[in-house]
Amino acid sequence: MAKRTKKTVTARGRVPPRRVCGAMAAHMLLLEKYPAFRMNLMKLEGATAKQRQAPVDLAQVPIVTVDTVVHVVYATDAENVGDDQIASQLDVLNRDFRATNTDRSKVPAPWAGLVTDARISFRLVEVTRTPTTVRGFGTDDGVKNAATGGIAPIDTRSRLNLWVCALRDGVLGYAQFPGGPPATDGVVINVSAFGTVGTAQAPFNLGRTATHEVGHYFNLRHIWGDTPDCSGGDGVADTPNCEGPNFGTPIWPSVTCNNGPAGDMFVNYMDYVDDRAMFMFTAQQVLRMRTALETGRPGLMATAAAARRKR
C-alpha cells in the first residue's frame, strides 16, 4: 500500500492560477472522430427534455453507488499518489454528490433552496499504477492507451474510470460525455488538482476538479454554455444565464446577462472558480445527471443493483 507522504510535483503537473477544463476541447475532437457520438448525445438530450416535462421526486430516486477505478499514471515518484490521497478524493465526491459538504452553508440565500442531493455515491473497487515516460499528457486521450504511455480503461460500461496524471498546458482535468466510445470513456485529473492531500495544490486542493469533471461525465455543461457572451446556455433551467466563466473567489453578487439581483451562480460546481468557492448542484442539474445515468450510462446502475442484491 502506498504510504502518505508530502510530495512536490514537477512544473508540468503544477496547477495554473485560474481553472482550465479540457472537457470541451476533448468533446469537440470526439464529435469529429465518432459520428455515432453525436447521435447518442441527441438521443440523450431528447430523453432529458422528456424528463423535464414529467419531473420526478428527486428525494425518492434510488441511491446509486458507482464502482470506480482509479488509474495512477506517473513519471516521477511524486506523481505516484498515495492511497490516502485517492481516498480523500473519493470522500469529496461522495460529499459533493450527496450534498453533505459542510461548505454548502456558504451558498447565497437566493439559491440555498436549490442545493440538491444527486443520490449518487462512489465506491473505489480498483487502483492501477502505471509508470510512464510521458512528461505531460494532453486532452487527446493519450493517458488512456498503453501505446501512448498510459493505460486502457477497465469495463467502462459498468465502472467509472478515473485517471490521475500530469497534464500539460495548464489543464486541470477533462471528461467524456455519455455516449462516446467506450475505449476512452472516463475522467482525467491533473495530479496537482486531485484529492485534498499529497500532491494537491491550492487553490485546487479541495477535490472539486473531480466533482466538476464527473459532472461533465454525467452530461452537465458549464453554466455559461461555453459561449463568450449571453447567447449560450447549459440546458438547465435553474442556473441563471451568465456571460462567461467566473474565476478565483468572486464577491457575490456578480451580475451579467441581466441576471440580477442574484447574478451568476458562481458557487456552482460547473463554473471555473477556485475549489473553496464552489459548493452546489441544483435540482435541474441533478435531474439532468440522473437522466444521463439512467439513459446514457445504465450499466453503472445495473452494477450497483447487482451489488445490492449480493449484500
- Give the 3-state secondary structure of residue 23: helix
Cell 439532468 belongs to 288
- Evaluate the CA torsion angle 24, 27, 32, 38 in order and state its sign: negative
pLDDT at 11 over 60: no
Q: Give me 201's grid cell.
A: 495544490
**pLDDT score at 4:** 44
What pLDDT, in 10s, does the model give residues 22-62? Answer: 999 999 999 999 999 999 999 999 999 999 998 789 999 99
Domain extent listing, the chain: 11-226+286-310
11-226+286-310: CATH superfamily? Collagenase (Catalytic Domain) (3.40.390.10)
Percent above pLDDT 90 for the chain: 89
Query: What is the average pLDDT score of the chain?
Result: 94
pLDDT digit string, tens, across residues 190-224: 999 999 999 999 999 999 999 999 999 999 999 99
Q: Does 227 score more than 80 pLDDT?
A: yes
pLDDT of residue 56: 87
pLDDT at residue 6 greater than cutoff 70? no
pLDDT at position 5, please? 44
Identify which of 183, 157, 182 has the alpha carbon closest to the alpha carbon of residue 299. 157
| Catalytic-labelled residue, pool 45, 213, 243, 294 | 213
Tens-place pLDDT, residues 118-156: 999 999 999 999 999 999 999 999 999 999 999 999 999
- What radius of gyration, in Å, describes the C-alpha atoms of the chain? 18
- pLDDT for 311 equals 73
Question: Is 94 a residue whose pLDDT tops 80?
Answer: yes
| Phi and psi based region of residue 157 (left: phi greater than 0; alpha: psi -120 to 50; beta: remaining) | alpha
Active site residue 126: no
**Is 31 in contact with 37 (CB distance < 8 Å)?**
yes
Q: Residue 61 corresponds to which cell in the numbers above?
A: 430516486
